[in-house]
Amino acid sequence: MRQSLLALLAKEPAHGYELKQALEAIFGSAYPSPNIGQIYVTLGRLEKDGHVRSVGVEQSNRPNKKVYYITAAGLETLQAWAEEPTEGPRVRDEFFMKLVLAPMTGLSDRMALINRQRRHYLSLMRELGELAERTDPGDRVALLLIEGAMLHLQADLDWLERCQEELP
Protein backbone atom coordinates (compact mmCIF):
# COMPACT_ATOMS: atom_id res chain seq x y z
CA MET A 1 0.00 0.00 0.00
CA ARG A 2 2.79 2.40 0.88
CA GLN A 3 4.48 2.09 -2.49
CA SER A 4 1.30 2.35 -4.49
CA LEU A 5 0.30 5.58 -2.69
CA LEU A 6 3.81 7.02 -3.15
CA ALA A 7 3.67 6.11 -6.84
CA LEU A 8 0.34 7.84 -7.30
CA LEU A 9 1.60 10.96 -5.49
CA ALA A 10 4.74 11.00 -7.63
CA LYS A 11 2.43 11.51 -10.58
CA GLU A 12 0.51 14.39 -9.03
CA PRO A 13 -0.40 15.72 -5.59
CA ALA A 14 -3.76 14.45 -4.34
CA HIS A 15 -5.93 14.20 -1.27
CA GLY A 16 -6.90 10.90 0.32
CA TYR A 17 -10.22 10.29 -1.43
CA GLU A 18 -8.73 11.03 -4.84
CA LEU A 19 -6.09 8.37 -4.13
CA LYS A 20 -8.77 5.79 -3.34
CA GLN A 21 -10.58 6.59 -6.60
CA ALA A 22 -7.35 6.38 -8.60
CA LEU A 23 -6.51 2.95 -7.17
CA GLU A 24 -9.97 1.63 -8.06
CA ALA A 25 -9.73 3.01 -11.56
CA ILE A 26 -6.38 1.38 -12.22
CA PHE A 27 -6.90 -2.06 -10.73
CA GLY A 28 -10.60 -2.32 -11.20
CA SER A 29 -11.96 -5.43 -9.62
CA ALA A 30 -8.58 -7.12 -9.63
CA TYR A 31 -7.76 -5.96 -6.12
CA PRO A 32 -10.12 -5.60 -3.22
CA SER A 33 -11.36 -2.05 -2.94
CA PRO A 34 -9.09 -0.11 -0.49
CA ASN A 35 -10.50 1.14 2.77
CA ILE A 36 -10.40 4.97 3.05
CA GLY A 37 -9.42 4.81 6.71
CA GLN A 38 -6.51 2.53 5.85
CA ILE A 39 -5.38 5.05 3.23
CA TYR A 40 -5.36 7.87 5.78
CA VAL A 41 -3.46 5.77 8.31
CA THR A 42 -0.84 4.91 5.68
CA LEU A 43 -0.55 8.54 4.61
CA GLY A 44 -0.06 9.55 8.21
CA ARG A 45 2.79 7.05 8.57
CA LEU A 46 4.38 8.24 5.35
CA GLU A 47 4.20 11.85 6.54
CA LYS A 48 5.79 10.85 9.84
CA ASP A 49 8.66 9.15 7.96
CA GLY A 50 9.15 12.34 5.87
CA HIS A 51 8.15 10.71 2.55
CA VAL A 52 5.19 13.05 2.04
CA ARG A 53 4.04 16.38 3.34
CA SER A 54 0.51 17.71 3.55
CA VAL A 55 -0.95 21.15 2.92
CA GLY A 56 -4.38 22.06 4.26
CA VAL A 57 -6.81 23.56 1.82
CA GLU A 58 -9.77 25.53 3.01
CA GLN A 59 -13.21 24.54 1.84
CA SER A 60 -16.44 26.39 2.26
CA ASN A 61 -19.06 24.61 4.40
CA ARG A 62 -16.72 21.70 5.01
CA PRO A 63 -13.73 20.79 7.10
CA ASN A 64 -10.34 21.59 5.57
CA LYS A 65 -8.93 18.82 3.48
CA LYS A 66 -5.28 17.87 3.20
CA VAL A 67 -3.52 17.65 -0.15
CA TYR A 68 -0.44 15.42 -0.03
CA TYR A 69 2.84 16.07 -1.89
CA ILE A 70 5.73 13.63 -2.27
CA THR A 71 9.07 14.73 -0.77
CA ALA A 72 12.59 14.19 -2.10
CA ALA A 73 13.08 11.39 0.44
CA GLY A 74 9.80 9.84 -0.71
CA LEU A 75 10.94 9.92 -4.30
CA GLU A 76 14.21 8.23 -3.32
CA THR A 77 12.37 5.42 -1.51
CA LEU A 78 10.07 4.95 -4.49
CA GLN A 79 13.06 4.83 -6.85
CA ALA A 80 14.70 2.13 -4.72
CA TRP A 81 11.48 0.08 -4.67
CA ALA A 82 11.08 0.20 -8.42
CA GLU A 83 14.65 -0.89 -9.08
CA GLU A 84 14.76 -3.71 -6.58
CA PRO A 85 13.76 -7.19 -8.01
CA THR A 86 10.56 -8.59 -6.58
CA GLU A 87 10.61 -11.94 -4.75
CA GLY A 88 8.76 -14.74 -6.59
CA PRO A 89 5.92 -16.64 -4.95
CA ARG A 90 7.06 -19.42 -2.69
CA VAL A 91 6.06 -23.05 -2.94
CA ARG A 92 3.20 -23.81 -0.64
CA ASP A 93 5.11 -25.49 2.10
CA GLU A 94 2.09 -26.32 4.19
CA PHE A 95 0.84 -28.91 1.69
CA PHE A 96 4.34 -30.22 1.18
CA MET A 97 4.69 -30.64 4.91
CA LYS A 98 1.42 -32.59 4.99
CA LEU A 99 2.57 -34.69 2.11
CA VAL A 100 5.81 -35.63 3.77
CA LEU A 101 4.63 -35.93 7.33
CA ALA A 102 1.06 -37.23 7.21
CA PRO A 103 1.89 -40.77 6.01
CA MET A 104 4.25 -41.14 8.96
CA THR A 105 1.40 -40.57 11.33
CA GLY A 106 -0.71 -43.17 9.61
CA LEU A 107 -3.60 -40.71 9.39
CA SER A 108 -3.65 -40.45 5.60
CA ASP A 109 -1.77 -41.83 2.61
CA ARG A 110 -0.04 -39.69 0.05
CA MET A 111 -2.16 -40.77 -2.87
CA ALA A 112 -5.31 -39.65 -1.14
CA LEU A 113 -3.65 -36.37 -0.14
CA ILE A 114 -2.54 -35.66 -3.67
CA ASN A 115 -5.91 -36.58 -5.16
CA ARG A 116 -7.76 -34.39 -2.70
CA GLN A 117 -5.39 -31.54 -3.39
CA ARG A 118 -5.79 -31.96 -7.11
CA ARG A 119 -9.53 -31.82 -6.94
CA HIS A 120 -9.21 -28.75 -4.79
CA TYR A 121 -6.91 -27.07 -7.31
CA LEU A 122 -9.21 -28.02 -10.17
CA SER A 123 -12.19 -26.56 -8.42
CA LEU A 124 -10.14 -23.39 -7.84
CA MET A 125 -9.30 -23.46 -11.52
CA ARG A 126 -12.94 -23.82 -12.39
CA GLU A 127 -13.80 -20.83 -10.26
CA LEU A 128 -11.03 -18.81 -11.86
CA GLY A 129 -12.39 -19.78 -15.25
CA GLU A 130 -15.87 -18.70 -14.28
CA LEU A 131 -14.46 -15.51 -12.85
CA ALA A 132 -12.65 -14.79 -16.09
CA GLU A 133 -15.87 -15.30 -18.00
CA ARG A 134 -17.73 -12.92 -15.75
CA THR A 135 -15.04 -10.25 -15.97
CA ASP A 136 -15.49 -7.42 -18.42
CA PRO A 137 -13.24 -8.27 -21.41
CA GLY A 138 -12.05 -4.64 -21.44
CA ASP A 139 -10.61 -4.98 -17.96
CA ARG A 140 -7.18 -6.12 -19.06
CA VAL A 141 -5.45 -5.72 -15.73
CA ALA A 142 -7.98 -7.96 -14.04
CA LEU A 143 -7.86 -10.57 -16.78
CA LEU A 144 -4.08 -10.68 -16.64
CA LEU A 145 -4.20 -11.17 -12.93
CA ILE A 146 -6.64 -14.07 -13.32
CA GLU A 147 -4.47 -15.63 -15.99
CA GLY A 148 -1.48 -15.31 -13.71
CA ALA A 149 -3.37 -17.13 -10.99
CA MET A 150 -4.37 -19.86 -13.45
CA LEU A 151 -0.79 -20.36 -14.58
CA HIS A 152 0.36 -20.63 -10.98
CA LEU A 153 -2.35 -23.22 -10.41
CA GLN A 154 -1.26 -25.12 -13.50
CA ALA A 155 2.27 -25.18 -12.12
CA ASP A 156 0.98 -26.45 -8.80
CA LEU A 157 -0.93 -29.23 -10.55
CA ASP A 158 2.13 -30.21 -12.56
CA TRP A 159 4.11 -30.30 -9.36
CA LEU A 160 1.45 -32.53 -7.80
CA GLU A 161 1.86 -34.86 -10.73
CA ARG A 162 5.61 -34.97 -10.12
CA CYS A 163 5.03 -35.73 -6.46
CA GLN A 164 2.69 -38.55 -7.39
CA GLU A 165 5.24 -40.03 -9.77
CA GLU A 166 8.26 -39.63 -7.51
CA LEU A 167 7.04 -40.28 -3.97
CA PRO A 168 6.16 -43.89 -3.25
Partner 1 sequence: MTTTPAIRAVNLVKIYQSGRGLPVPAVRGVDLTVDPGEFVAIMGPSGSGKSTLIHLLGGLDTRTSGEIWLDGKRADTLSESGWAVLRREKIGFVFQFFNLVTNMTVADNVELPALLGGASPRHARERREYLLGELGLTDRAAAAPAQLSGGEQQRVALARALANQPRLLLADEPTGNLDSRNTRDVLKLLSRVHRQGQTIVLVTHDARVAGLADRVVSLLDGEIVDDGAIVRRRGPGGTAGDVVELRG
Q: Is 8 near partner 1 (CB under 8 A)?
A: no
Q: How far apart are CA 118 and CA 130, in angstroms?
A: 18
Residue type, 112: A
140 contributes a contact to partner 1 by CB under 8 A: no
Single-letter amino acid, residue 5:
L
CB 59 within 8 A of CB 65: yes
Binding mask 97-136 for partner 1 (x = CB under 8 A): --------------x---x--xx-xxxxxxxxxxx--xx-
* Residues 163 and 115 sit within 8 Å (Cβ to Cβ): no
Name the residue nearer to partner 1 (CB basis): 25 or 72. Answer: 25
Residues found near partner 1 in the complex (CB under 8 A)? 28-33, 111, 115, 118-119, 121-131, 134-135, 139, 142, 145-147, 149-150, 152-154, 157, 161-162, 164-165
